[in-house]
Amino acid sequence: MKIRSLFLFLGILTIVLNSVPVQAHTLPAELNEQNQAQVNFSISGTVTIATGAPFAGVTITLEEQIYQIYLPLVLRDAGSADLPFSEDQNYSGEAFNDEPLVLTTTTDSSGNYSFSDVPAGKYRITPSTNLDDSFDPLSRLVNLSSNLPDQDFIQNELIFISNNNNNITFQMGCASNDLECNPYEDNEVPLHTVTLSPYSIDVTEVTNRKFQQCVAVGACDLPESNSSNARTSYYDNPVYDEYPVVNVTWNDAQNYCRWAGKRLPTEAEWELAARGTTVRIYPWGNQPPDCTRANHYWYNGGSSQYEYCVFENEHSDTNMVGSYPDGNGVEFGVSDMAGNVQEWVSDWYSAFYYYFSPAVNPTGPTAITGQKVIRGGSFDITAVELRTSFRFKLDPQESYNNTGFRCVLP
């Protein structure tokens, strides 16, 4: 009986020890200070309100995430043969009681904040409670690795979309008698009412620079190609850091959004951000597109040639994100929802989905249809495909030099 009890005790102790998170051994103070002195990280970001305007005077807290662990060594009373542990237990162990690093700062008049000289570790960034949902994101973990010195962690700005912090309703798609969508695309009908929960969406498409941060920490794969439609060196060229990342599959886009603590938007979330609560042909209204509103191309009947807003090396191509403020969504101010690059969304594609889609928070067909929805048109797309209701589909396992994405919260 004693032997069986001993094995039972050892088994339980093993389970307990394997179930407790393990903290790395703390370096002696002088070594820790020396190690920290060799690493100089900076973390920065921008806080905006729902219209995209800067939010000044917000307190931002950076707090180190450390465990406080107490491992008891339980000593069994050998005189109690019938129980694995006696009621009289002796404990010994060590408490890791390090004080976490806590830094605070306040956003300036441009909504910017930054922390410098931050040692390697894991941190949580949290805004003051008066900020509500304007911060990107409300609270997130940031890993600073000792092999990435001088890292700048720049977050995407987001636009918060809601009806005074409540659900928001809009008209999605096109009416069957609307010549703007018919006879072009039957997959945009019928015009139907959709209600969405509040969410936040990236102001711009994800850039090369932001995607590179995900690749650097091993959370994302490299794009399929470093080139773009007209440029041999694009993704790997610092000149194009603030241009939209392309040549990424749907899975690549999803992986980035997950790493950033976000997700891909649903098709409905994307269309509301582009259109607003009033039915508009384009994000900026009903006026036809030109090169002040969107990066696209059109047919010049007079010269019988196609005209491009961005033309390099005899090919059309992307432009820096946010280059067309006159084309921003008139209601929410989101950039590049028409042209530049078309964007992956989360939904599977069905041409007839609008006939049976849910009225509240639709997420696309439940069955895998083989293709994912693409929205927004691109630099090599005409005005028809720039409309807020235009839907297209692509193979999620393929990448394209005119296709990027943006993310949403929550």
pLDDT given at position 354: 94
Quick one: which of 164, 238, 253, 187 has its CA closest to 208?
238
- Report the pLDDT value the prediction gives residue 115, as an integer from 0 to 100: 85
Pure H helices in 261-407: 267-275
Surface-to-core class of residue 352, CB atoms within 10 Å of its CB (0-12 exposed, 13-18 middle, 19+ buried): exposed
The topology under which CATH files domain 2-156 is Immunoglobulin-like (2.60.40)
How many Å apart are CA 138 and CA 281, to the nearest integer? Answer: 33
Residue 32's pLDDT is 37
Backbone angles phi, psi at 278, to 5 degrees: -110, 135
What burial letters (b/e) apply to 52-89, b meaning 16+ CB within 10 Å?
bebbeebebbbbbebeeeeeeebebeeeeeeebbeeee
pLDDT in tens, the chain (410 residues): 444 454 444 343 333 323 222 222 233 333 333 443 445 677 777 766 545 567 788 788 888 766 433 333 333 334 444 434 334 444 344 444 467 888 898 888 887 888 888 887 777 777 665 554 444 444 444 545 544 433 444 445 778 899 988 999 999 999 877 666 655 568 999 999 999 999 889 999 999 998 998 898 788 999 999 999 989 999 999 999 999 999 999 999 999 988 877 899 999 999 999 999 999 999 999 999 999 999 998 766 555 567 888 888 778 899 999 999 999 999 999 999 999 999 999 999 999 999 999 999 999 998 888 999 999 999 998 888 999 999 999 999 999 999 999 999 87
Angle between helices 250-259 and 208-216 (to 10 degrees): 70
Q: Show the CA angle centred on residue 108, arms to residues 105 and 114, nearest 5°.
A: 45
Find out whether 294 and 249 touch, Cβ atoms under 8 Å: no
Q: Which residues sit opposite 374 in a β-bridge?
A: 344, 392
Tokens 């200070």 identify what position? 33
The dihedral formed by the CA atoms of 9, 10, 16 and 18, expressed in degrees to the nearest 10: -170
Closest CA to 361 of 139, 233, 197, 161: 197
CA distances from 116 to 32, 61, 190, 259, 395 (A): 18, 13, 53, 23, 43
Pick left, alpha or beta for residue 105 (phi over 0 → left; psi -120 to 50 → alpha; otherwise beta): beta
CA distance 136 to 47: 7
pLDDT at site 356: 93
Among 185, 195, 228, 222, residue whose Cα is nearest residue 373:
185
Is residue 326 within 8 A of residue 292, CB to CB? The reply is yes
What would be the CATH architecture of the domain defined by 159-409?
A: Alpha-Beta Complex (3.90)
Domain residue ranges in the chain: 2-156, 159-409
